[in-house]
Amino acid sequence: MSNGYVSPTIDFSRRAHLSEWMDEPCSYEDFRDCLKDLDRINRIIFGYSPTLTWLEQYADADAPLHIVDVGCGGGDMLRRIDAWAQSRNLPVHLAGIDINPHAARAAREFSSRSSRIEWITGDAFSYDPPVPIDLVISSLFTHHLTDSEIVRFLQWMDRVTTRGWFISDLHRKPIPYYLFSALATLMRPHRFIRHDGLISIRRSFDRDDWENYCAIAGLDQNGVNIYTMRPARLCVAREKP
């Protein structure tokens, strides 16, 4: 898959066990430039919309919201949430966690000096903030995890949040796969994205996958919403009463 060619024999019925270059050791410059191009693509295809749309239900919160983004990368999602909150005069405490040490450095480089977003390097399961977490979000993160790690992530989010959590990830279907292949050919993004984008879709999910993960995690199926949104996103959400 490194040259971006599309195989006619791809099996979309199950998650693929393939590696992505973004998950391997690389230089800071490659990591940063990849994140820049990823932001460019997400802006073009409205990739931030699912999370921002879900957050609208909390726009009238009467107390500051503590929102944590797991697998935050360069922090593009949190910067948009910060702007969303400011436009609504909504006080927020935003924190981004990523296990890759390059992520926090890139996020600080991409953010303004006045930004108050907290960037944390480490494993989310070890994160112990001084104040309760209201909401946990993640975008294009869970497909990097194994099945057992996803179950653990669901259990962790449900345990640490007071108000809910939201996952936006890819929908494992042929159409998004072929459309991304065409988009990558036209836009010529960073080589990591050309390689990893198609693999990410093959590592992603269908509805049955998420129903199975939630059942194993012991979550009440009636309390979890699984739904599709453009662009080719499969979202999993829980709003706590």
pLDDT tens digits along 207-220? 999 999 999 999 99
Domain containing residue 85: 24-172+205-239
Q: Are strands 118-121 and 133-139 parallel, antiparallel or unpaired?
A: unpaired
Q: What is the pTM of this model?
A: 0.91
List the CATH number of the domain containing 76: 3.40.50.150
Residue 14: helix, strand or coil by DSSP?
coil
Does a structural domain hold residue 8? no
Whether the per-residue pLDDT at 236 is higher than 50: the answer is yes
Q: Residue 5: pLDDT band by 50, 70, 90 thresholds?
A: very low
Distances (CA, A) of 22 to 9, 28, 42, 111, 183: 25, 11, 17, 21, 19
Q: What are phi and psi of 84, to 5 degrees?
A: -60, -45
Q: Residue 144: pLDDT band by 50, 70, 90 thresholds?
A: very high
Does a structural domain hold residue 132? yes
Percent of the residues in the chain that have a pLDDT greater than 70, as a whole number: 97
Domain count, the chain: 1
Does a structural domain hold residue 42? yes
Measured between alpha carbons, how far apart are the two ends of the chain, in Å? 44
Does a structural domain hold residue 179? no
Does a structural domain hold residue 19? no
Does a structural domain hold residue 52? yes
Q: Are 129 and 162 in contact (CB under 8 A)?
A: no
Does a structural domain hold residue 187? no
Does a structural domain hold residue 223? yes
